Amino acid sequence: MKRIAISLLIACLAVVVQAAEPTPGGSHYKAAEKTLTLMDMETVLRRAIDEMLKAQISQTPGIAPYESVMRQFLMKHMGWDSLKADTIQIYMSEFTEKELEELNRFYETAVGRKMVEKMPALMGKGAELGAKRVQENMPELQSAIAEEAKKQKEASDKKK
């Protein structure tokens, strides 16, 4: 009897999970897909990968000979083909269908298209700025880590 109840529970959960997953042909799904198409997400991701690799190589020139291998890996796992379905799900979870339609109207404007064009460079510049700030303040981080390690060692020694 327990097995039958467990089997029914599992079957019900499977139906609920399938019902909760948006239908690829549904209007909400299509609105999210259109948003990502208007955002030219395939190109954005490719350019973001280019900018990320460029920043990494400028910070660590020794990895330059491996750029093509790194690019292939990143395109395989972070390229549009790999991320499209999951990205649509993310947009659907964060935006209502109506909000996506409003975004679509924006991305169809000249300013919206300019935003799409500039986004990868902005992301790259933001990443460079972040890396620069971390490098500039590395002694502070190292000092804080050393101080915390000292505190943890003292606490550990007290327990002994």
Question: Mind listing the pLDDT tens digit for each residue in 143-156?
Answer: 999 999 999 999 98
1-28 pLDDT per residue, tens:
445 444 444 544 444 443 345 567 799 9
Residue spans per domain, the chain: 23-133
CA dist 157 and 97 (Å) reads 58
Average pLDDT, the chain: 85
Q: Check whether 64 has a pLDDT greater than 50.
A: yes
pLDDT of residue 72: 95
107 CB neighbour count, 10 Å cutoff: 19
CA–CA dist 100, 120 (Å, integer): 21
Provide, rounded to the nearest whole percent, the portion of the chain with pLDDT above 70.
Answer: 86
* Rounded mean pLDDT, 48-74: 91
List pLDDT tens digits, range 73-112: 999 999 999 999 999 999 999 999 999 999 999 999 999 9
